[in-house]
């Protein structure tokens, strides 16, 4: 039976199919968190998971009923930032399946003209969502304009006809996703600034949602006086707040590290500045190094959620309007409109309506209002390709249609598309039934190694992949050399010793210099590291360089020592091979020396069998607390795969030397086995690196770390003892199977997959009418290359 594997890694962020290169960069900059932010110590509250959930919902709901959802944006060209933001929303709309119409109005327009345009949009049955693009020109009355929008279509302030500010909704969803909503109910929240996102309605909504909310004064973003900046800085430094929400308009990176006091635990950045370096918010880069802070950054925080909620509410408004149209009568009067010119007829708005604007809520109970209207100007056509349906112009109704408008018709192409969607959903349902989700837990390096081995079953390392691994392996090895030379400098580079052995002076010179960057300097450092003269000099003063080397690797990179390739070898030879001019990386180098951390939150490997598919899912963001996201993954998990490296039984954690690493793995396994989320989930435990474990047990007895073990240096007894520890931690009725393997080899990975199918997944496969097949001849197993693969 063929073992076909597909690797897919997703960022959980939407990717746009767009034509304009500059607009593409703007869209990516708004939604993607810069890599420099991810390298900090602060906890990042990104909106990627919330965006994925909304995107999936939009894809399911957008085209139901054969009617395309339409969002209309009233746009005032007040500057390049406003144009950029409108274009970015156009791409999000295209991704969500929402038609995006822009009505551009002059910057010197009056409130009456804007309200007349809003009234026309209220009456247009083909428009489902209305958005007034901020910032508005100063002469306009924002309260009157916003109050004149039909509540069903007002996607910024209403959700399903109920008052709900869109920015507050986005922030609440973000806090909920990270499990901070309950804490926010008890926190003192300080809102500082005022602008396009922090509005009066936003503040009102926040005060309704949370009991301890205070808002600062309205800092005027139109000028930049030193007094105004000083007052803004004082608001940031307010000691009473434990959560700060900012939109200060004081310039990119205005909030410095010195302004944020230790009492602040959450910082929500709603600032938005397009600079030469990309999109930047109010929070400076230095704050991302504070480990006691949780930051919702710009870009990547609340703003992507806000954009996708606009699309979600437009689709919801379409559903409400469709239900209302089916219930009501089709007759309605037609508004007068001058079709021969661009003149705007404002006779429909009187002085009373300006003083007391009322939303148009007369849609139900037997009336369906419409009007004649020309096709809106779609100036971004080159940016967002339009469907054939949205290209149709809105011609005025005929005389017969004025008397009684018919219900929306469903053309043949819409019916065909609906049938195709239904067939696709049915096929997806059948496919999802045969796709078994397997969640990986355990040792971080062993999980990564397992997925890399799975990738190599299908696709070998390409020349481009090897070039990337070559540079990364040399950088990683150079950092090891430098750290070990630092240890030598601390213990052996005394003035009198340097005089006796000049090689120690070379060590002092290298560690005293700045970080080496050029290739020649790095090679010189590696040559010194491998120099036999250095090792002889250290031995004369009672220091063993091999012991220094191994103690460092054991504490920082234990996987290098426990790997069968290096467990009994000379590391100096390994380092010389990597810095040889003709060096070509091998799979071993990719496994151990490529330490790049990807921005992806999750990685998955799809293993295609004859009758089913195994989906291996690994969470790679180690800073995320498991209890925050575990309930999202375990809904339909078929098995939990736990990988434990046996060779780390005598090692301690880097952050706490009092905790044994094997003890830590046992604690993690206990928490999973006794979790309510996995009460009915079978466990498949892989005890890996068995060869290195048997070799190490002879020199380092297990009873030093597990006093209850009485088997001495017997490797088989030690293995059974560790198996018993795992079994004791599970519940009596827990379905658990323990498999021993060396996942450093391809054969070990394939054997583990087949054993998992025949043990832990057998019942699930039998319930689906599929029996696992065994493949006895592993060497003759044909592997088909998959289209979706992940590079190193």
Among 559-568, 661-670, 759-768, 778-787, the least confident range: 778-787
Instruction: Provide the token pair at 377.
Output: 């100007």
Rounded-to-integer distance, Cα 526 and Cα 480, Å: 10
- Residue with the larger pLDDT of the pair 78 and 160: 78
pLDDT of residue 379 exceeding 60: no
Q: What is the DSSP string of 764-783?
A: HHHHTT------S-GGG---
pLDDT digits (tens, 9 = 90+) for 619-645: 765 445 566 566 666 667 889 999 998
- Residue with the larger pLDDT of the pair 108 and 327: 108
Q: Is the preceding omega at residue 135 within 30 degrees of 0, hence cis?
A: yes
Q: For residue 647, what pLDDT is reported?
A: 85
pLDDT of residue 163 exceeding 90: no
Q: For residue 740, what pLDDT is reported?
A: 92
Residues 6+ apart with CB under 8 A from 419: none
Q: What is the DSSP string of 330-395?
A: S---EE----SSS----TT--HHHHHS-----TTSSS---EE--PPPP-TTTTTS---TTTTS--P
pLDDT band at 563 (very low <50, low <70, confident <90, very high): low
Pairing of strands 189-193, 334-335: unpaired
- Smallest Cα–Cα separation from 168: which of 88, 99, 247? 247
Average pLDDT, stretch 39-65? 83
Q: For residue 161, what pLDDT is reported?
A: 56
Annotated binding-site residue? 448: yes
pLDDT band at 32 (very low <50, low <70, confident <90, very high): low
Average pLDDT, stretch 36-42? 63
Q: For residue 349, what pLDDT is reported?
A: 40
pLDDT digits (tens, 9 = 90+) for 655-690: 777 888 899 889 989 988 888 878 888 999 999 888
Percent of the chain scoring above 90 in pLDDT:
4
Decide: 47 and 302 in contact? Cβ < 8 Å. yes
Q: For residue 642, what pLDDT is reported?
A: 93
pLDDT of residue 696 exceeding 70: yes
Q: For residue 633, what pLDDT is reported?
A: 64
Asked whether the whole model's pTM tops 0.85, one would answer no
Q: For residue 601, what pLDDT is reported?
A: 58
pLDDT of residue 429 exceeding 80: no
pLDDT digits (tens, 9 = 90+) for 223-262: 444 445 555 555 555 545 688 888 887 777 788 877 887 7
Dihedral over Cα of 253, 259, 261, 264: its sign: negative
Q: For residue 331, what pLDDT is reported?
A: 39
Tell me the pLDDT of the chain averaged across its residues. 72
Map out the domains of the chain as residue ranges: 434-460+596-780, 463-584
H helix and E strand count, the chain: 30, 22
Q: For residue 564, what pLDDT is reported?
A: 59
pLDDT of residue 116 exceeding 70: yes
Q: For residue 102, what pLDDT is reported?
A: 87
- Residue with the larger pLDDT of the pair 567 and 396: 567
Residues 6+ apart with CB under 8 A from 38: 44, 597, 599
**Residue 439 forms beta bridges with which residues?**
617, 640
Element of type H or E holding 191? strand 189-193
Domain formed by 434-460+596-780, architecture: 3-Layer(aba) Sandwich (3.40)
pLDDT band at 347 (very low <50, low <70, confident <90, very high): very low
Q: For residue 687, what pLDDT is reported?
A: 93
Average pLDDT, stretch 43-55? 86
Among 67-71, 355-359, 400-404, 449-453, which range has the highest average pLDDT? 67-71
pLDDT band at 554 (very low <50, low <70, confident <90, very high): low
Dihedral over Cα of 411, 413, 415, 417: its sign: negative
Among 356-370, 524-538, 656-670, the least confident range: 356-370
Q: For residue 686, what pLDDT is reported?
A: 93
Average pLDDT, stretch 421-433? 78
Among 604-613, 622-631, 774-783, the least confident range: 774-783
pLDDT band at 437 (very low <50, low <70, confident <90, very high): confident
Q: For residue 1, what pLDDT is reported?
A: 41
Query: Is 455 exposed, middle or buried, given 0-12, 13-18 or 19+ CB atoms closer than 10 A?
Result: buried
């Amino acid at each position: 039976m063929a073992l076909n594997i597909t690797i897919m890694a997703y960022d959980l962020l939407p990717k746009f199919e767009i034509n304009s290169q500059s607009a593409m960069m703007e869209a990516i900059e708004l939604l993607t968190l810069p890599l420099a932010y991810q390298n900090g110590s602060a906890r990042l509250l990104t909106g990627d998971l919330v965006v994925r959930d909304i995107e999936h919902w939009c894809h399911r709901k957008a085209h139901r009923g054969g009617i395309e959802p339409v969002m209309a944006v009233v746009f005032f060209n007040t500057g390049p930032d406003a144009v950029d933001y409108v274009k970015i929303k156009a791409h999000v709309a295209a991704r969500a399946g929402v038609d995006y119409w822009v009505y551009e109005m002059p910057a010197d327009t009056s409130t009456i003209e804007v309200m007349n345009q809003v009234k026309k949009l209220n009456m247009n049955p083909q428009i489902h969502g209305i958005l007034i693009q901020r910032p508005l020109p100063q002469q306009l009355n924002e309260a009157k304009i916003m109050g004149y929008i039909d509540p069903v279509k007002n996607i910024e302030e209403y959700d399903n006809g109920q008052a709900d500010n869109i920015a507050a909704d986005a922030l609440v969803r973000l806090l909920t996703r990270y499990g901070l909503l309950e804490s926010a109910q008890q926190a003192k929240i300080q809102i500082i600034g005022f602008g396009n996102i922090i509005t009066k309605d936003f503040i009102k909504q926040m005060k309704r949602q949370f009991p301890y909310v205070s808002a600062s004064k309205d800092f005027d973003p139109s000028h930049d006086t030193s007094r105004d900046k000083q007052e803004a800085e004082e608001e940031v430094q307010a000691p009473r707040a434990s959560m700060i929400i900012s939109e200060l308009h004081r310039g990119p990176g205005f909030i410095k590290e010195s302004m944020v006091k230790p009492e602040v635990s959450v910082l929500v950045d709603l600032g938005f500045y397009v600079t030469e370096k990309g999109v930047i918010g109010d929070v400076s880069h230095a704050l991302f190094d504070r480990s006691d802070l949780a930051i919702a950054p710009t870009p990547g925080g609340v703003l992507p959620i806000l954009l996708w909620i606009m699309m979600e509410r437009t689709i919801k408004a379409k559903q409400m309007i469709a239900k209302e149209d089916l219930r009501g009568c089709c007759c309605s009067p037609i508004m007068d409109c001058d079709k021969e010119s661009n003149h705007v007829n404002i006779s429909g708005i009187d002085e009373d309506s300006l003083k007391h604007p009322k939303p148009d809520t007369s849609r139900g109970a037997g009336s369906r209002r419409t009007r004649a209207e020309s096709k809106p100007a779609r100036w971004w056509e080159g940016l967002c390709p339009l469907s054939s349906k949205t290209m149709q112009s809105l011609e005025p109704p005929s005389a017969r249609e004025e008397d009684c408008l018919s219900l929306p018709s469903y053309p043949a192409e819409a019916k065909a598309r609906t049938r195709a969607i239904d067939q696709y959903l049915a096929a997806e349902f059948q496919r999802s039934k045969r796709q078994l989700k397997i969640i990986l837990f355990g040792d971080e390096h062993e999980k990564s190694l397992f997925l890399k081995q799975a990738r190599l079953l299908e696709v070998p390392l390409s020349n481009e992949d090897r070039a990337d691994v070559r540079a990364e392996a040399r950088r990683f090895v150079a950092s090891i050399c430098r750290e070990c030379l630092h240890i030598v400098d601390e213990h052996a580079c005394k003035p009198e010793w340097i005089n006796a052995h000049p090689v120690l002076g070379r060590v002092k010179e290298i560690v005293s210099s700045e970080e080496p960057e050029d290739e020649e300097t790095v090679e010189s450092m590696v040559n010194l590291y491998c120099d036999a003269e250095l090792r002889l000099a250290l031995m004369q003063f009672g220091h063993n360089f091999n012991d220094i080397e191994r103690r460092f690797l054991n504490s920082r990179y234990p996987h290098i020592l426990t790997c069968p390739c290096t467990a009994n070898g000379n590391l100096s030879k390994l380092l010389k091979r990597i810095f040889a001019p003709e060096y070509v990386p091998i799979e071993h180098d990719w496994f151990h020396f490529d330490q790049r951390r990807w921005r992806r939150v999750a990685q998955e490997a799809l293993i295609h069998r004859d009758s089913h598919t195994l989906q291996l899912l690994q969470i790679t963001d180690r800073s995320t607390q498991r209890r925050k996201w575990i309930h999202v993954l375990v809904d339909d998990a078929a098995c939990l795969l736990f990988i434990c490296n046996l060779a780390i039984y005598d090692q301690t954690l880097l952050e706490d030397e009092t905790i044994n690493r094997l003890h830590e793995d046992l604690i993690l396994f206990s928490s999973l086995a006794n979790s309510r989320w996995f009460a009915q989930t079978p466990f498949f435990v892989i005890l890996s690196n068995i060869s290195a474990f048997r070799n190490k047990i002879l020199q380092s007895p297990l009873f030093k770390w597990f006093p209850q073990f009485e088997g001495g240096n017997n490797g088989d007894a030690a293995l059974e003892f560790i198996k018993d520890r795992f079994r004791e931690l599970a519940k009596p009725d827990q379905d658990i199977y323990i498999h021993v393997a060396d996942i450093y080899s391809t054969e070990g990975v394939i054997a583990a997959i087949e054993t998992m199918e025949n043990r832990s997944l057998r019942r699930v496969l039998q319930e689906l009418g599929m029996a696992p097949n065994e493949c006895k001849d592993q060497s003759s197993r044909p592997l088909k290359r998959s289209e979706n693969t992940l590079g190193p």
